[in-house]
Amino acid sequence: MFLIVGLGNPGAQYAKTRHNAGWFVIDELCRRHNIELAKKNADYKVGLGFVGEHKIALVKPQTFMNLSGRAVASLKHYHRVELEQILVVSDDLNLALGKLRLRAGGSDGGHNGLKSIAQMLGSKEYPRLRFGVGEPSREERVSSGTTGFVLRPFSADEWPLVEETTRRAADAIEWWLQNDLEGAMSRFNG
């Protein structure tokens, strides 16, 4: 069993925001593998299925970003998976729009969802896929800060690249599941 967790915020007002890039990837994997996120409790929605021979749980935490770790820790214990069997997809404003960065572990990079997960798991050493959402301009940082930037929807001009990046992120996850993390990193990082 592998847990694939896409980070995002619940609520229609956040549906197309940069902070919900992880949810875009979960939606793409659900579509590709005919998985429905049907099982829901207060902390998460989850759908079970397969990628090749690998059983997966696709997860969308339903808490706000800074509490995402509750869902991940709960599902890790319930399904008895190891840290290396968890992959978390998050937005990253330090990566240019359209870039992906797959890693075996590491810092939270200031991302509150990743910080919450590391706290709840007691480790930073779990795979993660960072989805580049672009960096706010100096003016945007001054006027609304990074929080305002990640909670703003992508523009119509950005959507084609967002959709392409979402597909490549799903491809990277499928590669990881059916091959290995290092190969996926070599193939999809950049």
SS3 9: coil
Domain ranges of the chain: 2-188
Mean pLDDT (whole number) for 8-25? 95
pLDDT, one tens digit per residue, over 124-142 is 999 999 999 988 777 776 6
Of the residues 19, 54, 77, 79, only one is catalytic, namely 19
pLDDT of residue 60: 97
Percent of the chain having pLDDT more than 70?
Answer: 97
Token code pair at residue 59: 């997860």
Calculate the average pLDDT of the chain: 94
Whether 19 sits among the annotated catalytic residues: the reply is yes
pLDDT value at 180 more than 90: yes
pLDDT, one tens digit per residue, over 152-179 is 899 999 999 999 999 999 999 999 999 9
Q: In terms of pLDDT, which residue wins out, 138 or 80?
A: 80
DSSP-derived letter for residue 155 is P
State the CATH class of domain 2-188.
alpha beta
pLDDT, one tens digit per residue, over 68-78 is 999 999 999 99
Contact 114, 90 (CB under 8 A): yes
The answer for 17, left when phi > 0, alpha when psi is -120 to 50, beta otherwise, is: beta
Q: Name the residue type at position 171.
A: D
How far CA 59 is from CA of 5, 93, 99, 135, 137, in Å, comes to: 5, 22, 22, 26, 32
pTM listed for this prediction: 0.94
Token code pair at residue 132: 């580049």
Mean pLDDT (whole number) for 58-73? 95
How far CA 158 is from CA of 4, 14, 42, 130, in Å, comes to: 25, 16, 32, 17
Which residues are within 8 A (CB) of 52 and not within 5 positions of it... i.e. 6 or more apart?
A: 177, 178
Contact 29, 4 (CB under 8 A): yes
